[in-house]
A = this chain, B = another copy of it.
Amino acid sequence: MELPKATNTSALSGAGVMRLFNKVGETVNKITYKMDESDPWFEEKTQQIENLDTQLRKLHSSVETLVMHRKDLAILTAAFAKSAAMLSNCEEHTSLSRALSQLAEVEEKVEALHNEQANADFSVLCELLKDYIALIGSIKDVFHERVKVFQNWQHSQQMLNKKREQKAKLELSGKPDKGNQASVEVVEWEAKVERGQEEFDNISKMIKKELERFEVNRVKDFKAVIIQYLENLMTHQQQLIKYWEAFLPEAKAIA
């Protein structure tokens, strides 16, 4: 079964966040780096994002199944309409035959409504969830990127320590030429450590800022989508009632 393409993806406030994160995360190697997290904010957020990922995936698959099921319901309703129409054709009793034929027409309208609702649920709920699963994927990527930056910094720190030891040994053993060379390297690695720490601080700060924005947009998006989902449902239910209400006098007119 072909599901319609969602049209409201670009309207998501979260999409901007995703684009930014995608740029940062482009070169991210997916191997999991371990680091001793010193920032409780990141520890908490990482866990939270993991949970959100798991639950959104479950909800997405549940909604997708519901959408497919509603599509099937539309097909079955069409079959019911056809059966009622055929029964109407072979029905000798005039007003019963007319009522059955009108029941068939109403069921055809109900079929269209089931399809509409399946499409609406898909383009509203499914697409939101799909987009947020992708966004969360990007967030997990930048978390990995931050770990990589951290390890780069730690590597520079280790190298600096080694160079300092070498320099101290050379100075003690009275090799001033080599000592000078070592001094240059120490200065180089000091700069790398400084740059590494800066990079790590920057990416940590940027992630915090972007995640705050993400949280605000996420609540806004979910609120809008839940309301739109409800309003669609209610519109469809009300239309269904109108169809049945219009048909009821026909059923009562069977005589």
Contacts and interface: CB of A to CB of B under 8 A. Distances in A.
Interface stretch (A30-38, A48-56, A170-178): A48-56
Nearest to A99: B226
Copy count, this protein chain: 2
A94 to B, nearest CB: 10
A83 B58 contact: yes
A244 B237 contact: yes
A92 interface: yes
Contacts of A93: 215, 218-219
Interface string A220-236: 00110011001101100
Contacts of A96: 219, 222-223
Interface of A: 48, 51-52, 54-56, 58-59, 62-63, 65-66, 69-70, 72-73, 76-77, 79-80, 82-84, 86-87, 89-93, 95-96, 99, 103, 215, 218-219, 222-223, 226-227, 230-231, 233-234, 237-238, 240-241, 244-245, 247-248, 251-252, 254
A44 to B, nearest CB: 9
Given A69-B76, A73-B69, A215-B93, A254 B226 contact: yes
A55 B251 contact: no
Contacts of A223: 96, 99, 251-252, 254
Given A230-B244, A238-B241, A241-B237, A58 B76 contact: no
A120 B167 CA distance: 88
B252 A245 contact: no
Given A52-B90, A55-B83, A237-B237, 5 more contacts: A59-B87, A69-B72, A93-B215, A96-B219, A237-B241
A164 to B, nearest CB: 44
B252 A241 contact: no
Contact of A58 (B62, B86, B254): B86
Contacts of A87: 52, 55-56, 58-59
A183 to B, nearest CB: 51
Contact of A244 (B62, B73, B83, B234): B234
